[in-house]
């Protein structure tokens, strides 16, 4: 059974404390180190326009809003803003190459699997909320034998809106059978911390992903340097501290 926080007694608080907590992960740069494959497929894509390759350092400014935006930004960076008709064949080229080479060099970050195993054993729910196209996220997670961990996997095209719009996260939580008051969001970039703030859910940032600014400046509720730190106790503490500061703010 998950450890529960001891809020005020009463039917409502008790019902909340008995609901298993849900840990929602971003994908690129949070669950999985995808950078080598993203850069490779992106460079093969823009090579169709004879554009020079982008680097890993460039990726931090390109990634975060899905493949379409990443291709558009890479072309603009290389001095070729795309016209509307140029994008669809490039997107197709990217999707085909990225899918064909999966899982490529992509790997879970150190300690992730052990942390997820512990959370699952303790009764926690897990989900993925990524701006990657849903089909790419599903195929990649399937090829890495990870889909079984998650109660929901949603992408940038699953709902009419995507991160940082709150509805991407609230929709993911609903699909996973979680509740807002017992959920946390873990991510590497602005969109993840912003979606959590917009949905009124606490956030944990990881510094090893693709943020173009230091994650401290995003003001997450916590930062973890390694997945060893992602324990049931930490999840409960973050949820409890967040509920407490919300209650203090409401009483002012």
Is residue 130 within the footprint of ligand PGA (CB under 6 A)? Answer: yes
Interacting partner of 155 out of Mg ion, ligand PGA, none (Cβ under 5 to 8 A depending on kind): none
Is residue 131 within the footprint of ligand PGA (CB under 6 A)? Answer: yes
> 241 labelled as ligand-binding?
no
Which residue among 22, 54, 59, 63 contacts ligand PGA (CB under 6 A)?
63
Give the DSSP letter string of 153-187.
Answer: EE-TTTSSS-TTSHHHHHHHHHHTT--GGGEEEEE
Q: Least separation, in Å, of the C-beta of 62 and ligand PGA?
A: 8
Kind of pairing between the strands at 107-108 and 32-33 = antiparallel
Interacting partner of 66 out of Mg ion, ligand PGA, none (Cβ under 5 to 8 A depending on kind): ligand PGA
Is residue 29 within the footprint of ligand PGA (CB under 6 A)? Answer: yes
Is residue 168 within the footprint of ligand PGA (CB under 6 A)? Answer: no
Phi/psi-derived region of residue 100, left when phi > 0, alpha when psi is between -120 and 50, beta in every other case: alpha
Q: Which stretch binds ligand PGA (CB under 6 A): 27-35, 39-47, 75-83, 224-232?
A: 27-35
Q: Which stretch binds Mg ion (CB under 5 A): 44-52, 116-124, 184-192, 223-231?
A: 184-192
Q: Least separation, in Å, of the C-beta of 38 and Mg ion?
A: 11
Contact letters (x/-) for Mg ion, 106-125, by CB under 5 A?
A: --------------------
If binding means CB under 6 A, how many residues of this protein chain bind ligand PGA?
Answer: 13
> 188 labelled as ligand-binding?
yes
> 151 labelled as ligand-binding?
no
* Inter-axis angle of helices 190-199 and 166-175, nearest 10: 70
Which of 26/37 has CB closer to Mg ion? 26
Query: Is 26 annotated as catalytic?
Result: yes
Is residue 182 within the footprint of ligand PGA (CB under 6 A)? Answer: no
Q: Which residues are at the interface with ligand PGA (CB under 6 A)?
A: 26-29, 63-66, 70, 130-132, 189
Interaction site with Mg ion (CB under 5 A): 26, 28-29, 188-189
């Amino acid at each position: 059974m998950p450890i529960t926080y001891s809020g005020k007694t009463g039917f409502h608080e008790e019902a909340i404390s008995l609901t298993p907590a849900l840990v929602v992960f971003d994908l690129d740069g949070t669950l999985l180190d995808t950078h080598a494959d993203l850069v490779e497929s992106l460079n093969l894509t823009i090579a169709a326009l004879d554009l020079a390759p982008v680097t890993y350092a460039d990726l931090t400014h390109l990634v975060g809003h899905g493949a379409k935006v990443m291709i558009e930004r890479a072309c603009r960076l290389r001095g070729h803003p795309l016209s509307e008709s140029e994008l669809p064949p490039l997107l197709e080229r990217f999707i085909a190459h990225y899918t064909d080479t999966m899982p490529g060099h992509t790997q879970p970050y150190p300690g992730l699997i052990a942390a997820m195993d512990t959370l699952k054993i303790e009764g926690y729910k897990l989900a993925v909320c990524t701006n990657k196209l849903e089909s790419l996220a599903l195929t990649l997670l399937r090829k890495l034998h990870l889909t079984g961990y998650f109660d929901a996997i949603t992408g940038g095209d699953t709902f009419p809106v995507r991160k940082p719009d709150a509805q991407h996260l609230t929709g993911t939580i609903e699909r996973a059978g979680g509740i807002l008051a017992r959920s946390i969001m873990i991510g590497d970039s602005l969109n993840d911390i912003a979606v959590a703030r917009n949905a009124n859910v606490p956030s944990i940032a990881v510094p090893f992903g693709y943020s173009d600014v230091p994650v401290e400046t995003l003001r997450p509720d916590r930062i973890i340097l390694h997945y060893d730190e992602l324990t049931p106790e930490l999840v409960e503490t973050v949820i409890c501290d967040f509920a407490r500061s919300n209650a203090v703010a409401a009483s002012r």
